[in-house]
Amino acid sequence: MTDASLSTLPPALANPRKPARFALARRTIITPILLSLLILAVAIVTVMTGSRPFNQAMIDIMVRVVLVVGLYIFIGNSGVLSFGHIGFTCLGAYAAAWLTINPLMKKTSLPGLPSFLLEARLPYWQSAIIAALFAGLAALIFGKVLMRLSGIAASIATFAVLAMINTIYSNWESVTGATSSVVGIPIVRVIWPYVGAAIVAIFIAWGHAISRSGLALRAARDEPTAAAASGVDIPKERLIAFAISGVIMGLGGAATAHSIGVVTPDTFYLGLTFITLAMLVVGGMSSLSGAVIGVLLLSALIQALRWLEAGVPLGSTTFALPKGLQEIALGVIMIVILALRPAGLIGNREITLFRVNRNK
């Protein structure tokens, strides 16, 4: 820039007025707050019913909120479909198992563990944090390679990551117990830690979405060429999102482990990948509100179908859907929703107090 040009530079451009500090955060924070209140409302109702099976079903929903929000952080912002994320959930779940099972049990069931893990017996919340960071680190390392790819190649490669993790965990007998169940993980039956995890996931996703990295990534999702021409380092921004979402997937893994007390590699494979992706896509792939609402709606639907399958007494007879209809009905409903609303139920928007807001 020459002196001549600076002297004629319009004053507004030379020294633009910045908006108030945290203006963007204050304008958008209502979304994670409302979503958290929604989650809290579900939890309060659950506790009030006092029903054990209902409590367990709601814990499952909280865990799924964590997982689907984790998927949203990467898939929603980058637009790159990933089939690999449940692999990081697997890493988180086993890490939580390693850190919390009674050492006496571990020495016989998982003798191949290094001694610091064999001796470890951490409280669940500490193990969850470590498991989340471990999964995030793995995502960072895998991501370094994956983020160079784009489009279909990237999605297929993420699928390879899932298959790889599953294969390792299904065969490494002395460390993962191979395909047999790893039991003895302390079970946490109160809903509040799971609610806490879901809310933490929601706020992290929001923080990322309004960050510089989140904005740059959404730009690259729309128009990668133009984003690069705007100075955006696309592989770097994708990697950041991938690692953060890896952390959340790991947290979801730890939560799964403590909610059921047992893990096997196949808990974290195609079935869970399909159901979590379905929830994300039905709710609205590029919206945090969509991720949360997708979980709540599809979970309610699954629950209702299970209940119908089990049979509902109608007068003197029992009305029941044939077995297996649950999966079929779920598939049909998903297809219908997506045919009517290809961008998902919420689309590209976020819920706010007064209106439905366009994305940040």
Partner 1 sequence: MAHLSADNISVAFAGLKALSSVTLDIRPGQISGLIGPNGAGKTTLVNVLTGFQMPTEGSVNLDGKPLTNLKPHQVRRLGIARTFQGGRLFRDLAVIDNLEVTGVGLGMSRRAAVAEAEAMLDWIGISALGGRAAGTLPYTDERRVAIGRALMGRPAFILLDEPAAGMSAQEATDLSSLVKRIARDLGCGVLIIEHNVGLVLGLCDHIVVLDSGAVIEEGTPTEIRQSEKVRHAYMGTAADTALPVAEVLL
Q: Which chain residues interact with partner 1 by CB under 8 A?
A: 1-2, 4-6, 8-10, 12-13, 16-19, 21, 23-24, 210-212, 215-216, 218-219, 221-223, 225-234, 286, 348, 358-360
Nearer to partner 1 among residue 2 and residue 317 (C-beta): 2
Distance CA 189, CA 186 (A): 10
Tokens of 29: 């924070």
Collapsing DSSP to helix, strand or coil, 175 comes out as helix
Q: How far is the CB of 252 from partner 1 (least distance, A)?
A: 27
Q: Are 216 and 232 in contact (CB under 8 A)?
A: yes
Q: Are 308 and 320 in contact (CB under 8 A)?
A: yes
Nearer to partner 1 among residue 17 and residue 323 (C-beta): 17
Q: How far is the CB of 19 from partner 1 (least distance, A)?
A: 6
Alpha-carbon distances, residue 190 vs 54, 56, 67, 76, 354 (angstroms): 12, 9, 19, 31, 34
Q: Are 97 and 260 in contact (CB under 8 A)?
A: no
Nearer to partner 1 among residue 8 and residue 316 (C-beta): 8
Q: Are 103 and 177 in contact (CB under 8 A)?
A: no
Give the strand pairing for 312-314 and 317-319: antiparallel
Alpha-carbon distances, residue 280 vs 2, 72, 292 (angstroms): 51, 7, 8
Q: How far is the CB of 8 from partner 1 (least distance, A)?
A: 5
Q: How far is the CB of 349 from partner 1 (least distance, A)?
A: 11
Nearer to partner 1 among residue 219 and residue 251 (C-beta): 219
Collapsing DSSP to helix, strand or coil, 358 comes out as strand
Nearer to partner 1 among residue 225 and residue 317 (C-beta): 225
Q: How far is the CB of 146 from partner 1 (least distance, A)?
A: 18
Nearer to partner 1 among residue 65 and residue 216 (C-beta): 216
Q: Are 139 and 245 in contact (CB under 8 A)?
A: yes
HSE at residue 336, side-chain half, CA atoms within 13 A, is 6
Which amino acid, one-letter code, is at 117? Answer: L
Q: How far is the CB of 152 from partner 1 (least distance, A)?
A: 21
Nearer to partner 1 among residue 231 and residue 324 (C-beta): 231
Residue 356: in which H helix or E strand, if any? strand 356-358
Nearer to partner 1 among residue 48 and residue 229 (C-beta): 229
Q: How far is the CB of 14 from partner 1 (least distance, A)?
A: 9
End-to-end CA distance of the chain: 33
Residue 319: in which H helix or E strand, if any? strand 317-319
Which amino acid, one-letter code, is at 144? Answer: K
Q: How far is the CB of 150 from partner 1 (least distance, A)?
A: 14
Which amino acid, one-letter code, is at 333? Answer: I
